[in-house]
Amino acid sequence: MRKLLFIAALFSVVSPAQAQFDLFGGDNSPLYSSKATATKDGFTFPSTASETKIVIIRPDIFVGEQSTGGIDRLNANWTKTAREYLAAETSKLLISQGFVVKNLQDLEDGGDSLLVEYRALFKLVSNAAIRNDLFPAKGLPTKKGKFNWSLGKGASKLGDLGDGGDYGLFLFSRDSYGLPGRKALEIIGLAKGLEAKPTPHMGYAGLVDLKTGDLVWLNVNVRLGGDVRKPDGAATRIEKLLAKFPKRSGAAK
């Protein structure tokens, strides 16, 4: 009995990455297996523009190691590698669709603080959109039936940093990989009839019009494949995160 209680207690620990996972209702919610896409009403890329420049904001990435007790600890090397692979694969995919791409990574002279500020703002706005539009439980009355979210006109500063960028693409990805002790515990738990919370593999991507600050497209996938620590896994992740991405007129199919 004590062994069972010990195992159950370990499985009940909630990690920082799990807190973001709970945004989607946790593993007991039907949303856990969900994916959803939303586009602002009437949005299309300008057909008259010969070049549409998308600024890829430094991806918000967390890749961690999940301990035996279910605690996710940041692995700095994995995170750095995943960020580089994901940014590169994003650029490759967008260029293949006919877009001009500018990557905004770490900047100097105050630019980096601006990126941090807007990445945090995007997270707040996109989380609200996810809760109230994509996976609504009790949607906000003023947002009912409308995908209408904005980061504000100050987002134009990101366009300036991106050498005249038209749109900003924000990427959010959370992954955790179980250490040997965690995997062994999962096997023991299953043998005892207990189910461990799965290691998180989730993400979302959002496109912002940098002239208006409007969030014009958002794609969420709660259960993502692809090991982001490897180039082919990162490519798989980006294909899913940019599924149903709006096409530019005349872009390569």
How do residues 52-105 score in pLDDT, each as one tens digit? 999 999 999 999 887 655 677 889 999 999 999 999 999 999 999 989 999 987
Calculate the CA 189 to chain-centre distance: 30
User: In one letter, which amino acid is 159?
Assistant: G
Report pLDDT for 51: 84
The per-residue pLDDT for 49 is 66
In the chain, beta strands by DSSP E = 35-39, 53-57, 60-66, 72-74, 100-104, 149-150, 167-178, 201-209, 214-221
Inter-residue contact 40 to 133 (CB < 8 Å)? no
Residue 27 structure tokens: 């593993």
Please tell me the predicted confidence (pLDDT) of residue 202: 85
End-to-end Cα spacing for the chain: 59
Sole residue written with tokens 């904001």? 57
Of residues 237, 42, 219, 16, the one with CA closest to residue 129: 219
User: What token pair was written down for 68?
Assistant: 């035996």
pTM: 0.78
What is the secondary structure of 108-168 as a DSSP string? Answer: STTHHHHHHHHHHHHHHHHHHHIIIIIS-SS--GGGTT---EE--GGGHHHHHHTTS-SEE
Per-chain mean pLDDT for the chain: 77
- pLDDT value of position 141: 59
The radius of gyration of the chain from alpha carbons, rounded to an integer in Å, stands at 19
Query: How does pLDDT run across 118-162, given as a tens digit for each residue?
Result: 999 999 999 888 888 777 665 555 656 678 999 999 999 999 988
